[in-house]
């Protein structure tokens, strides 16, 4: 008999008895679109690093952007454990997606609106901060929603997050190549890039509207509400929901998965995009501008493959997933030795490191997010999704702080020079 703690999502019946069929995989596809929308703004800002480097040559904008985007996210998710379940999934997700699209649309206009560099940088960072807040709340809401479904739907969201990176990178490459290599041409390409980014978020909005109308979604949401009512998580007199799931017992159930997801994203965001952005192209004909774009794109592709792989095979269970997660810490010295002192001096080594780094990020992070909700009871699943999102974003926030220390150790600067 298999121990309950060693079970993986693929060992369980993926669909409840009586659940409607997910015809044509529409619900899975819609969940992937929601995943695409979760981190698409952040990936857009990363992929547009050349745009910001041209605008603000005296500012280490990548570090500041990452800090602004992630600074408040974990706090919001902590608060949302008590607040968000009081509001419907429809209201929350619609509001957060539309807000993110609006900010993305406005971003390229800032240099034209504010001529002074310090003012333009500050306003850009304020909007980036607001975008990060919206994405954080969207993250918790989406992961809470898909936690009601079988684990493969959590995997589809994580796969969609991987697509976000590829989408942003391809969009930047296409818009950059499509326009003349002149100051005006590259300015136009940046406008087009952010406008198309806003359109992609609106596509995610439409996918969510479709998801809400599918029979399988209605089934799992009805089942969840019935479970909450049975376990006293619904206030019938006011018809408002309130979270009464005790957090301590829940954390005892999912602490292994929470540790893994924290460590995975702490490792990744400590190094990417800050430290990896310091790697110089030293032995190829690529310009540094194109090297940065392709190097970042390599991360996006590897991350997507890693996030999608659990749909077909799972190599670890909840008890041993910590092993490859801790092993990923080796990337700290590996990437450091690509910067200072430069021990590795081959573009092929750089791309190999980046691919393995991103592949393990996507794979280990996705497995942890899939395993977490399987440990919870039915009425705890939404809160479990938010808890897992909290530890993911907390890992990113701690990594953002730690990245400044790494930058100082490698370059003698904190990366926040004006």
CATH of 25-411, one of 3.10.450.40, 1.20.1250.20, 1.10.600.10, 3.20.20.80: 1.20.1250.20
Lookup result for tokens 């409840």? 16
- Residue tagged 């090297």 (tokens): 291
Report pLDDT digits (tens) over 45-100.
Answer: 887 877 887 888 777 787 788 778 877 777 887 777 778 878 889 999 999 999 99
| pLDDT for 244 | 66
Provide the pLDDT for residue 168. 86
**pLDDT for residue 2:** 37
- How is the chain split into domains, by residue range? 25-411
pLDDT, tens only, 201-227 = 999 999 999 999 999 999 999 988 888
* 46 within 8 A of 70, measured Cβ to Cβ: no
Residue 235's DSSP bridge partners are 240
Find, among 209, 178, 165, 394, the residue nearest to 297 by Cα: 165
Burial 251-290 (b: 16+ CB within 10 A, else e): eebbebbbbbbbbbbbbbbbbbbbbbbbbebeeeeeeeee
Question: Count of H helices and E strands in the chain?
Answer: 16, 2
Within a 10 A sphere around the Cβ of 246, how many other Cβ atoms? 11
Residue (of 180, 183, 81) closest to 139 by Cα position: 81
Specify the pLDDT at position 12: 46
* Other CB atoms within 10 A of residue 351 CB: 15
pTM above 0.85, yes or no: no
What pLDDT does 411 receive? Answer: 77
DSSP annotation of 21 reads: P
Which tokens hold the place of 359?
């592949």
Asked whether the beta carbons of 204 and 33 are under 8 A apart, the reply is yes
pLDDT at 10: 45
Q: What is the pLDDT of residue 77?
A: 78
**Gap between the Cα atoms of 265 and 416, Å rounded:** 22
Residue ranges in the chain modelled with pLDDT below 50 = 1-7, 9-14, 234-243
Predicted local distance difference test score (pLDDT) of residue 166: 84
Confidence at residue 50, expressed as pLDDT on a 0 to 100 scale: 76
Per-residue pLDDT, 296 = 82
pLDDT given at position 236: 43
């Amino acid at each position: 008999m298999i121990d309950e703690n060693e079970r993986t999502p693929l060992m369980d019946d993926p669909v409840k008895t009586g659940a409607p069929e997910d015809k044509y995989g529409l619900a899975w596809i819609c969940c992937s679109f929601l995943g695409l929308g979760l981190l698409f703004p952040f990936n857009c800002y990363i992929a547009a690093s050349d745009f910001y480097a041209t605008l603000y040559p005296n500012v280490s904008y990548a570090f500041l952007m990452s800090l602004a985007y992630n600074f408040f996210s974990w706090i919001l998710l902590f608060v949302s454990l008590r607040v968000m379940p009081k509001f419907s999934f429809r209201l929350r997700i619609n509001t957060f997606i539309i807000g993110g699209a609006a900010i993305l649309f406005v971003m390229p206009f800032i240099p034209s609106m504010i001529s002074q560099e310090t003012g333009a940088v500050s306003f850009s960072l304020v909007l980036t901060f607001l975008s990060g807040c919206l994405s954080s709340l969207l993250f918790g809401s989406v992961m809470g929603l898909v936690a009601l479904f079988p684990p493969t739907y959590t995997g589809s969201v994580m796969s969609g997050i991987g697509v976000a990176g590829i989408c942003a990178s391809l969009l930047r490459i296409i818009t950059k190549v499509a326009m003349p290599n002149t100051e005006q041409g590259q300015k136009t390409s940046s406008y087009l890039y952010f406008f198309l980014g806003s359109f992609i978020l609106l596509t995610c909005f439409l996918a969510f509207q479709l998801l809400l109308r599918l029979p399988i979604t209605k089934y799992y949401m009805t089942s969840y509400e019935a479970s909450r009512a049975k376990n006293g998580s619904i206030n019938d007199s006011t018809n408002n929901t309130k979270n009464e799931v005790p957090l301590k017992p829940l954390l005892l159930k999912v602490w292994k998965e929470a540790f893994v997801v924290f460590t995975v994203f702490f490792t990744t965001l400590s190094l990417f995009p800050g430290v990896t952005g310091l790697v110089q192209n030293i032995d190829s004909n690529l310009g540094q501008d194109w090297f940065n774009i392709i190097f970042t794109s390599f991360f996006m592709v590897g991350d997507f493959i890693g996030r999608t792989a659990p749909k077909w095979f799972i190599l670890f269970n909840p008890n041993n997933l910590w092993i490859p997660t801790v092993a990923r810490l080796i990337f700290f010295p590996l990437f450091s030795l690509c910067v200072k002192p430069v021990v590795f001096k081959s573009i092929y080594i750089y791309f190999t490191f980046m691919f393995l780094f991103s592949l393990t990020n996507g794979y280990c992070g996705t497995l942890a997010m899939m395993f977490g909700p399987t440990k919870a009871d039915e009425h705890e699943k939404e809160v479990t999704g938010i808890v897992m999102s909290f530890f993911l974003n907390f890992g990113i926030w701690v990594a953002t702080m730690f990245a400044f220390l790494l930058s100082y150790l490698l370059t003698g600067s904190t990366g926040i020079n004006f």
